[in-house]
């Protein structure tokens, strides 16, 4: 698979964040969800949907079937996802997919690729945090010594 997903820092405040199994299953499903429209065995899948099974999720995450079912029930109870099962697979829909993965308007902390390229090609190497702290400490010691 190619591409990436966004994980917003607000995830740290999400009610399931400390539940390792639920968090692992949710992030796994985000990574597998369709980005666009596709077809699978007569089903049209939209963005944020995927077809999987408990066994596939178990193999990928190392969690037991019971742990995965519990995690999916947690996610369904808070309307993070919906699921529809057949005897062969489960169709999962991440309810707020567009909200989670929408392009953001306005400023971000990201550098543009040209800014990144310029920064990487400058002759001056960035000072490490440790070196910067040593420099500040040395300057402070000199100032204090001046006052004595």
Q: Which domains does the chain have, with CATH numbers?
A: 9-101 (1.10.10.10)
Q: Is the CB of residue 47 less than 8 Å from the CB of residue 33? A: yes
7 vs 23, more confident? 23
pTM, two decimals, is 0.67
Task: Give the pLDDT score at 121.
Answer: 47
**Using CA atoms, how far apart are residues 29 and 40, in angstroms rounded to an integer?**
17
77 vs 96, more confident? 77
Contacts of 8 (CB under 8 A, 6+ apart): 100
Residue 8 has pLDDT above 90, yes or no: no
**Using CA atoms, how far apart are residues 59 and 119, in angstroms rounded to an integer?**
42
- Report the Cα 131 to chain-centroid distance in Å: 32
> Per-residue pLDDT tens for 90-137?
999 999 888 888 765 544 444 444 444 444 444 444 455 556 556 666
Contacts of 76 (CB under 8 A, 6+ apart): 82, 83
């Amino acid at each position: 698979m190619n591409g990436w997903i966004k994980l917003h820092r607000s995830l740290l405040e999400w009610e399931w964040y400390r539940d390792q199994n639920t968090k692992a299953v949710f992030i796994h499903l985000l990574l597998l969800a369709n980005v666009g429209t596709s077809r699978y065995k007569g089903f049209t899948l939209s963005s944020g949907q995927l077809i999987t099974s408990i066994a596939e999720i178990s193999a990928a995450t190392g969690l037991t079937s019971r742990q995965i079912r519990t995690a999916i029930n947690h996610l369904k109870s808070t309307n993070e996802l919906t699921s529809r099962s057949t005897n062969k697979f489960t169709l999962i829909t991440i309810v707020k997919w567009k909200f989670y993965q929408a392009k953001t308007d306005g400023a971000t902390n990201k550098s543009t690729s040209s800014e990144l390229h310029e920064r990487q090609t400058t002759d001056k190497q960035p000072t490490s945090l440790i070196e910067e702290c040593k420099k500040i400490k040395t300057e402070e010691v000199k100032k204090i010594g001046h006052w004595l």
